[in-house]
Amino acid sequence: MAGRLPAKRLGDYEVVSWLATGGMAEVYLARRRGAYGFQKHVALKCILPQYAQDPEFVSMFVDEARVGAALSHPNLVEVFDFGECDGELYIAMEYVEGTTAAKLVRAAAQRGGAVPVEDALFVVLSVLRGLDFAHDATRDDGSPLGLVHRDVSPGNVLLSRTGSVKLADFGIARAADIERRTEHGQMKGKLGYMSPEQVSGRDLDARSDLFTLGIVFAELLIGRPLFAQGQEIDILVRIRDADTDVFSKHAGALPDDLAAIVYKALARRPDDRFASAAAFAEALEEFARRRRLSLGAPRLSAYLEHLGLIRPTARSGEYRLGPVTGPVRASRVPPPPAPSATVPAVSYSVRLPSGDELGPLGLGKLIELVVSGDVPHEAEVAKGDGAFVPARDHVELRRLTTSSAHRWDAEPDDETEVWELSRDTLPARLYRLGVSRATGVLRVQSGARRKKVYLVDGQVEYATSTEADELLGARLLSEQLVLPVELDMALAMAPRFGGRVGDALIALGILRPIDVFRALYEQLRLRVSSVLSVEHGSLSFRPGQRSHEESLPQPLPLLELVTRGVATRYPDAELAALLAPSRHEPLTPGPRTAPGTSSLGLTATHATVLASFERPRTLDEVELELVSASLAEPHEVRVAAFVALSAGLLVARGSAISRVAASPPDTR
């Protein structure tokens, strides 16, 4: 379908017709006229209107023009000009009349076969020569440009009517001076034509392009997609594992030594591939010499005409498909090991107790709804096209739907203490649980927002929350420890690990065990300290109850987490208001049973503030003294004073905070 036509003219170029639309630009056939009847056809690439005001896309477009202008090689599409007309950016580049390698593979497959080895070799050798030039390109000062194409796919391999081969579209290429604008971990490239390191968000070098060209080569030789079939997650996992099963299954008619070259190009580890495009090309040239193969543009042009992909040329003739010279045997080259995990993406549907149905949902979204309580444990869930069964019958949901730690329905108990949540006394109640070495479950409820914190001897053993942004996956994404696609892979694998996403991430090799442990500890810290951000609701404690969940090896100190919550969740203006009644009344040291500054996790500056209260003094006096001496900032004085009052280190006469701090909870 034709795209929009821009203005009749863009700069010196007259727009003739629309050619194609890509991810961020459209391409038109244009003509430049000159003196004495001179004219030249070019491909005019224009940024799409919806991206014209996006700085990132504009930068990428400008980078493509800069990179293309620095590259002049017979196997690379040449960039002639770059300009702007009435606010519209354009790149004028070489117009290649012909077809693409993508159409070549499809046309060969429709005839029930693959591209002849000679023509496949010529196409790939031509691209390798262009890549070799691009990878070795330098700046004007002779320093390496460090270019990686990142999008070597069949659609970007252009085949002209005369049989020449040119690699196009450096739109997402990476050069050393462009990389600074590429977000860390951002995945660029076409689905099905990426390298394992590209899928995993790791650093790329020229060998990434060799892997993706290896995909193109394999598809030319077997006449079918290597990776680009099935669910997106399945495709990405197979690329990540360099799963060559499709090639192995359909490459039986290829010579062993040719198959070996393909396997080397498609090695999972960059170190196991060809060291450079030149080395890859040398291996193919040696194969062609051994087999006495006749390669060249005329043969390719004749084959394209034979398939009906180009109009006849002046030297058209009958094209004969001949066998590869030399003995042809079933390949005995051992393929790489089978991938460790190839898991298709599965959708879920939910039937609520009310009879309403939700879905289809990905596993990540379903887990979020179960954790938040929006999907009750009594709901029924269907996996894929399966029948609705109780949620607990799905192994990936069993732990969330059967564990009391993850249930949010009411659990009335006469021995449970319940308090109305108040911002002034909230830290004091939490500190008392830590000081009294309480064991049990702390419940926090504020509307639909709920949390449980399980304590053992005043230490935090486990915590659950209905907050979606406190899920492990959300934390890993926010910290940029994993890519969204990697998290999707782990979620797809989670059923094999009892629904534990962390275990799946380790098994997939995405994170090390130490990284997962750190993330789990930080998740636990977040869930506890964020209790200090709750503004209204109820607080309760049920003594003796344990989570019975698999907990981390080392519990976390509740006292330190509460202090962390005060420092990060109580704005300075709120602290000033809460401390206002104590500003002019002397604060006195608390009982000897109060915790020390070290167990509270206070900083050295906070300790200096508290040392100033060795005798009764007002908060105003201490703040003025320390701020004037540049020993503390006003906010640091307020944090230290509020923590000290809440923990019982300081006492304010008539203060509700001091009353709560002096009365331990019932922790029977």
The per-residue DSSP string of 446-475 comes to ETTEEEEEEEETTEEEEEEES-GGGSHHHH
**Strand 389-390 vs strand 380-383: parallel, antiparallel, or unpaired?**
antiparallel
Q: Between 232 and 353, name the one with better pLDDT.
A: 353
Q: Which two tokens stand for residue 557?
A: 């100190």
- In this prediction, residue 409 carries a pLDDT of 66
Distance CA 1, CA 518 (A): 51
Higher pLDDT, 37 or 333: 37
| Rg (the chain; Cα; Å) | 33
Reply yes or no on whether the pLDDT at 406 is more than 70: yes
What is the spatial distance between Cα 9 and Cα 4, in angstroms, rounded to a whole number? 14
Rounded to an integer, the average pLDDT of 486-503 is 79
Judged against a pLDDT cut of 60, whether residue 614 lies above it is answered with yes
Contact 437, 555 (CB under 8 A): no
Q: What is the per-residue pLDDT for 549?
A: 79
pLDDT at 558: 93
The C-alpha atoms of residue 417 and residue 442 are separated, in whole angstroms, by: 10
**Residue 375 above 50 pLDDT?**
yes
Beta carbons within 10 angstroms of residue 136's beta carbon? 14
Residue 218 reports pLDDT greater than 90: yes
Distance CA 65, CA 462 (A): 54
Q: Which two tokens stand for residue 114?
A: 């693959």
Q: Tell me the pLDDT tens digit for each residue of 145-174.
A: 888 988 899 999 999 999 999 998 875 555
Map out the domains of the chain as residue ranges: 96-306, 348-402, 404-567, 570-668
Indicate the residue type of 413: D
Of the two residues 212 and 186, the one the predictor is more confident about is: 212
Which residues lie closer than 8 Å to 665 by C-beta, 6 or more apart?
417, 429, 432, 433, 436, 438, 541
- At 24-61, the pLDDT tens digits run 778 889 999 888 878 889 999 888 777 777 787 788 78
CATH topology of domain 96-306: Transferase(Phosphotransferase); domain 1 (1.10.510)
Interatomic CA distance for residues 541 and 563, integer angstroms: 19
631 neighbors 608 (Cβ within 8 angstroms): yes
- How would residue 328 be classed by pLDDT, with cut points 50, 70 and 90? very low
Confidence class of residue 329 from pLDDT cuts 50, 70 and 90? very low
pLDDT category of residue 333 using cuts at 50, 70 and 90: very low
**Which DSSP state fits 76?**
B
Kindly give the residue spans of alpha helices, DSSP state H, lying in 25-172.
55-69, 101-110, 117-135
Q: Is the pLDDT of residue 334 over 50?
A: no
Per-residue model confidence (pLDDT) at position 373: 80
Burial 397-410 (b: 16+ CB within 10 A, else e): bbbbbeeebbbbee
Across residues 589-593, what is the average pLDDT?
A: 79
Tell me the pLDDT band of 337, cut-offs 50, 70 and 90.
very low
Q: What is the average per-residue pLDDT within 606-623?
A: 90
Angle subtended at Cα 487 by Cα 395 and Cα 506, rounded to the nearest 5 degrees: 75
Sign of CA dihedral 583, 589, 590, 593: positive
Q: What is the C-alpha to C-alpha distance for residues 232 and 488, in angstroms, rounded to an integer?
A: 10
Catalytic pick from 151, 241, 243, 424?
151
Tell me the C-alpha distance between 89 and 63, whole Å: 12
For position 667, what pLDDT does the model report? 47
Q: Give me the helix-helix angle, 484-493 and 363-372, nearest 10°.
A: 80
Residue 413 appears among annotated catalytic residues: no
Task: Please state the rounded mean pLDDT for residues 617-625.
Answer: 90
Q: How confident is the model at residue 101 (pLDDT cuts 50, 70, 90)?
A: very high
Task: Report the pLDDT value the prediction gives residue 598, as an integer from 0 to 100.
Answer: 78
Average of pLDDT values for 58-86? 85
pLDDT value for 279? 96
Query: How do residues 196-213 score in pLDDT, each as one tens digit?
Result: 988 877 788 999 999 999
Contact (Cβ atoms closer than 8 angstroms) between residue 442 and residue 417: no
Mean pLDDT of 362-385: 84
pLDDT of amino acid 169 = 81
pLDDT reported for residue 474: 84
444 phi/psi in degrees, rounded to 5: -125, 130
pLDDT at 182 over 80: no
* pLDDT, position 216: 97
- Beta-carbon count within 10 A of 1 CB: 4
Highest mean pLDDT among 88-97, 275-284, 357-366: 275-284
C-beta of residue 364 within 8 angstroms of C-beta of residue 250 = no
For residue 176, what are its two tokens?
A: 């050393």
Least Cα distance to 339 among 182, 485, 502, 196 occurs for 196
- What are the backbone angles phi and psi of residue 627, rounded to the nearest 5°? -70, -40
Confidence at residue 153, expressed as pLDDT on a 0 to 100 scale: 92
pLDDT averaged over every residue in the chain: 83
The answer, yes or no, to whether residue 176 has pLDDT greater than 50, is no
Highest mean pLDDT among 24-38, 108-122, 212-226, 577-591: 212-226
Helix (H, G, I), strand (E, B) or coil at 357: strand
Going by pLDDT thresholds of 50, 70 and 90, the confidence category of residue 547 is: confident
For 112-126, 152-166, 509-523, which range has the lowest pLDDT when averaged over its residues?
509-523
283 or 188, which is more confident: 283
User: Tokens at residue 642, please?
Assistant: 């509020």
Give me 163's structure tokens.
């049989």
Report the pLDDT averaged over residues 210-234.
Answer: 90
DSSP character at residue 281:
H
Q: How confident is the model at residue 7 (pLDDT cuts 50, 70, 90)?
A: low
> So what's the pLDDT on residue 317?
53
% of the chain exceeding 90 in pLDDT? 35
pLDDT of residue 248: 93
Band of pLDDT at residue 320, cut at 50, 70 and 90 = low
Least confident residue range of 1-15, 431-445, 614-628: 1-15
